[in-house]
Amino acid sequence: MSNTSSNQDLIAVINAQIVTVDESGSVIDNGSLIVGANGAIRAISSGEINHSAKEIIDARGAIVMPGLINTHTHLGMTLFRGLGDDMSLEDFLSRLMPAEVKVLNYNAVHAGTQLAALESLLGGITTALDMYYLPDAALDVAKSSSMRIQTGPNFLESDGPEPLAYNDRLSWAAKWLESPRDQTGSTGWIAPHSTYLLGEDHLRTLAALASKYEARVHVHAAETVGEMQLVANRHGGRTPIQVLADTNLLHRSVLAHGVHLSDADISLIANNSATVVHCPASNFKLASGIARILDLQQAGVN
């Protein structure tokens, strides 16, 4: 944290209460923060810092902190806002998925993601883990905005708006994961939609793909009572977490929702270093239930 003046500074934030979110949880009162020419923070300190920025923000009475992270979202789905209210997840999906097949293409997903990125940034969210069709559109939005978007190929057995059959998507996903990473900050991700929309053979194939390319897995799991019943019927009485564990997809995966978890499920999640993403707004909107957050924390689950 240098106090050296620079001719390249873009923004100086002064008189701020800076919440650093570092390991020690330090807070800097009456602090200053300097953004350099590359858009990165070059200095943080209490009091004043020498700078050459023309744009000066007096943050007196405000908190300055790192951007928030939305760890489970469908950015392009913003286009379908208002499509359905006061209904279960299953009823909502039965209305949404045909509309997605009919409407979505690259331009539509790009436009929806642009809107979602703008709304996110206005709300202080600077990074998102996105699961949606046509992920190239989301990465292109990330390149042209200040939003970091983590995303990857999305898989489900039913027909979607993308022009590739399931087996062709596997080849395309392999090329995606082989491609060099760029300025968007996106790392290797694949997104099997869920254990109720994918059979065991497909799940095992995706686990092998993720393992080969050291990709992370982003998947819906244990969101609703209806899902639990669908998965039990399809997968021999097992829970979504048991299916993911049995198909080698659970390790270090990111599990969206995780509302209906048994004690055994929580132990499996903890033992596999998986992460559960709490989605309270979605869970309330769809009356999905209340996640066992305290139990997960006590079990050491992230």
The structural domains of the chain, with segments of one domain joined by +, span: 11-64, 68-298
pLDDT at 1: 46
Topology match between the domains 11-64 and 68-298: no
Give 220's contacts (C-beta < 8 A, 6+ positions apart): 193, 194, 227, 255, 256, 257
125-130 β-sheet, strand order: 68-73, 125-130, 148-150
Q: CA-based angle 52:29:42, to the nearest 5? A: 35
User: Which residue type sits at 269?
Assistant: I
CATH of 68-298, one of 3.20.20.140, 3.40.50.1980, 3.30.70.3190, 2.40.50.100: 3.20.20.140
pLDDT at 289: 96
Give the three-class secondary structure for 112.
helix
Tens place of pLDDT for every residue, the chain, 302 residues? 444 444 689 999 999 999 999 999 999 999 999 999 888 899 999 988 999 999 999 999 999 999 999 999 999 999 999 988 899 999 999 999 999 999 999 999 999 999 999 999 999 999 999 999 999 999 999 999 889 999 999 999 887 888 788 888 899 999 989 886 555 556 689 999 999 999 999 999 999 999 999 999 999 999 999 999 999 999 999 999 999 999 999 999 999 999 999 999 999 999 999 999 999 999 999 999 999 999 999 999 99
What is the crossing angle of helices 89-103 and 225-234, to 10°? 80
CB atoms within 10 A of CB 275: 18
pTM, 2 dp: 0.90
pLDDT at 212: 93
Helices (H), the chain: 89-103, 106-122, 135-143, 166-178, 200-213, 225-234, 240-246, 263-271, 280-285, 293-298
CATH of 11-64, one of 2.40.110.20, 3.40.50.970, 3.90.1410.10, 2.30.40.10: 2.30.40.10
- Chain CA centroid to CA 40, Å: 22
